[in-house]
Amino acid sequence: MKARLLAGALATALLVTGCATVPTKGPIRNSSQDAPPPGLGGIGVEARPPRPNAGQQQLVNGFVEAMSDSSAFDVAREYMTPEAGDAWKPESKILVYDQGSSPGIAKEADGKFHLAAPLIATIDDRGSWTPAPANTQLDFAFDLTKVGDEWRVANPPPGVFLGSNQVVPRLTPYTLYFFNPSKHLMVPDPVYLPRNLPSGQAATQLIQELLKGPTTRLGNSVVSNAPPGTTVDVSVPVESGVATVALSGTASSLTDATDREQLAAQITWTLQPITTRVRITVEGAPLLPDRPEELSYTNFTQYDPAVSTGRLKDLYGIRAGKIQRIQGQDDGQTIEAKAIVDSQLYPYRAESFAVNLRGDTGAVVSSSKAGRPIVAVGRLDAPKGEPPPSVIEADGKVLRPTFDGEDNLWILDRADGAKPRLRVRTSDGKVSNVLTSFGASRPVVLRMAPDGVRALLVMERKGVNSVMTASVATSDGKLTLGRFMPLQLPLVDITDASWNNPGILVAGNSPKRDGARPWQVNVDGSQPQVIPGASSSFETIHVASNPSHDTLPAVQDAEKQLHWQGKDLNWVDMAEGPEGQITPVYPG
């Protein structure tokens, strides 16, 4: 009985957590996970029981409206036969459909009433939002029968149907936090909760979800420091701004102080949107007996890859094959690009350039004297006596390398062949293959997130580019790149993508082809929109960013000119002509 009650509670949370920012007008493709909560909008539908002697269409319309009220599934069951009501499992999944571009419920040639509409996404029983493939249609036929003198639905839907105009006012995006395999850096895992939950109820559901482990989006790519079977005792009350997380005795098996600290980091970071003051106990005793009774996420910033390095906002670039450092971006000095002549990498003619998150090491794609492609790795400001750069031989087309937060360098070559190759060079110089298969698609861009777990890719297939995410895991002792998730963006002419603080920055064009712009997209592909202040005076081809709050978006236009956006949203341009032809690079 307890399990069933919990499932019902989760179903309630999931129904209202499927899509935080789907607009109510215009073309809709997806929802939000990482975007800031939007203002309340739309009109919530309160479930009402069926009217006496309702006609068939009136009954079906009422049923669909009633199921959108997550607090009243029992009312929705009144529209169903007793057998269908018992069989219906609203907690199984949510089908979010585009209510604005369909006729809605109509009687078809088979004599049944159908709900036919474009499918936007499916939300599973954990609350993970998965975009529907392009042109996917939802089509459900309602079987109606008489119960007594009243029409009732005899076939239970496969979960819940949720119209796009009913999700905006109901949802708030949250994030669960787990660790990368080395347990050095945290990895975000987005979930959704009802917007207007009391703080204690929201905190309880978040910690319950955290203790279940990662969602299918990350799977075994990440780890949790909560021992299997750990639960929270009853609830997580929030009183006087302090959340009390009372963990079950299972957590007492954590005897190592670092393991306990990391579990506290997961909990405090997960609860950050609700409160910055958290008390964590195990069987009544403090989880961290040597720390203050009240903890905050700020006590554990060493696990945040976006702030632990401190050099993420430094801008670099390539001009005429030579690596550059951009000075004066944000401090009132003269803005100029200076060649990094003291770098070990300066002698190379760089085709592309990557900088590690500390800003002391770089990697360039270049060519050997024999004309073979290579990747050279060396210090940006090399003191005398420094060992020479290490050189990694490559084949075919080599994509721009990418660093993660643990100084691993990810290299993808043979990108123009039938079997592209992905390798990783660890900080000790060892190079290993990463098992993966790109199928019939060809990788165009690879960007690793600072956590070293999540990958962002631009893929080409039959002349069309798309954006997808993937994650790195270990299988049989070998690294693998898998869990590919197409973001299904309603964009054309996509040329580049990069991680940034809200989610992902994409260079692309709208279907109207009104000019290539930098687009802000959430990590699940939801809510693509041109970034605020985007200029129409130039076409965006390359984008540069990273997850630091202080990193300013930078782009290269179709004329190879460099622009970046200031904190006032205005664009700063390098000099026109050859002096301004710089491909921008931020650490990462």
193-223 burial, b at 16+ Cβ within 10 Å, e below that, comes to: bbbebebbbbbbbbbbbbbebbbebbeebbb
What pLDDT score was predicted for residue 404?
96
Other C-beta atoms within 10 Å of 228: how many? Answer: 9
Q: Are residues 358 and 434 in the same domain?
A: yes
Q: Are residues 155 and 194 in the same domain?
A: no
Strand segments, DSSP code E, in 195-241 are 238-239
Rg (CA), the chain: 26
Q: For residue 203, what is the DSSP state?
A: H
In this predicted model, what pLDDT tens digit does every residue of 129-187 receive, in sequence order? 899 998 999 999 999 999 999 999 999 999 999 888 777 666 778 899 999 999 999 99
Q: Is the pLDDT of residue 72 over 60?
A: yes
Q: Are residues 180 and 145 in the same domain?
A: no
Evaluate whether residue 20 is within a structural domain. yes
Q: For residue 435, what is the DSSP state?
A: B
Average pLDDT over residues 279-287: 96
What pLDDT score was predicted for residue 24?
26
Q: Rounded CA gap, 451 and 306, in Å?
A: 9
Q: Are residues 95 and 180 in the same domain?
A: no
| CATH assignment at residue 391 | 2.120.10.30
* Closest of 388, 436, 434 to residue 409, by C-alpha: 434
Of 113, 145, 166, the last residue of a domain is 166
Q: Rounded CA gap, 70 and 13, in Å?
A: 8
Average pLDDT, the chain: 88
What pLDDT score was predicted for residue 330?
60
In this predicted model, what pLDDT tens digit does every residue of 446-481 receive, in sequence order? 999 999 999 999 999 999 999 999 999 998 889 999
What pLDDT score was predicted for residue 318?
97
Range of the domain at 161: 2-166
Q: Are residues 228 and 377 in the same domain?
A: no
Q: Are residues 138 and 191 in the same domain?
A: no
Average pLDDT over residues 34-45: 38
Strand segments, DSSP code E, in 262-415 are 278-282, 285-286, 316-319, 322-327, 336-339, 352-355, 361-367, 373-379, 390-393, 402-403, 409-413
What pLDDT score was predicted for residue 350?
98
Task: Give percent above pLDDT 90 in the chain.
Answer: 74
Q: Is the pLDDT of residue 14 over 90?
A: no
Q: Is the pLDDT of residue 242 over 70?
A: yes
Q: Are residues 121 and 214 in the same domain?
A: no
CA 202 to chain centre: 21
The pTM for the full model equals 0.86
Q: Are residues 294 and 380 in the same domain?
A: no
Q: Are residues 125 and 157 in the same domain?
A: yes
User: Which runs of consecutive H residues, i.e. helices, occur in 32-108?
Assistant: 56-67, 73-77, 82-87
Average pLDDT over residues 252-275: 97
Q: Which residues are registered as beta bridge partners of 143?
A: none
Query: Six-digit token pair at 543?
Result: 């984008």
What pLDDT score was predicted for residue 196?
75
Q: Are residues 299 and 367 in the same domain?
A: no
What pLDDT score was predicted for residue 574?
87
DSSP for 71-82, please give it.
GGHHHHHTTB-H
Report how many domains make up the chain: 3
Q: Is the pLDDT of residue 9 over 80?
A: no
Q: Are residues 123 and 181 in the same domain?
A: no
Q: Rounded CA gap, 459 and 412, in Å?
A: 13
Evaluate whether residue 309 is within a structural domain. no
* Closest of 323, 462, 480, 467 to residue 401, by C-alpha: 323
Q: How far is CA 536 from CA 200, 266, 498, 530, 540, in A?
A: 46, 42, 20, 11, 9
452-467 burial, b at 16+ Cβ within 10 Å, e below that, comes to: bbbbbbbbbeeeebbb
What pLDDT score was predicted for residue 356?
96
What pLDDT score was predicted for residue 49?
96
User: Regarding predicted confidence, which is higher, 51 or 99?
Assistant: 51
Of 166, 197, 225, the last residue of a domain is 166
With residue 142 as reference, give the H or E element that holds it: strand 137-142
In this predicted model, what pLDDT tens digit does every residue of 344-398 receive, in sequence order? 999 999 999 999 999 999 999 999 999 999 999 999 997 777 889 999 999 999 9
Strand, coil or helix: 23: coil
Q: Are residues 240 and 363 in the same domain?
A: no
Q: Is the pLDDT of residue 36 over 90?
A: no
> pLDDT band at residue 332, thresholds of 50, 70 and 90?
low
Evaluate whether residue 426 is within a structural domain. yes
483-515 burial, b at 16+ Cβ within 10 Å, e below that, comes to: bbbbbbbebeebbbbbbbbbbbbbbbbbeeeee
Average pLDDT over residues 415-425: 97
In this predicted model, what pLDDT tens digit does every residue of 522-577 receive, in sequence order? 898 877 899 999 999 999 999 999 999 889 899 999 999 999 998 899 999 888 88
What pLDDT score was predicted for residue 351?
98
Q: Which residues are registered as beta bridge partners of 49?
A: none
Average pLDDT over residues 405-412: 96
What pLDDT score was predicted for residue 6?
33
Evaluate whether residue 243 is within a structural domain. yes
What pLDDT score was predicted for residue 443?
98
Evaluate whether residue 522 is within a structural domain. yes
Evaluate whether residue 89 is within a structural domain. yes
What pLDDT score was predicted for residue 168?
63
What pLDDT score was predicted for residue 308?
55
Q: Is the pLDDT of residue 310 over 70?
A: no
Of 280, 303, 326, the last residue of a domain is 303
Contact status, residue 406 vs residue 453, Cβ threshold 8 Å: no
Average pLDDT over residues 245-254: 96
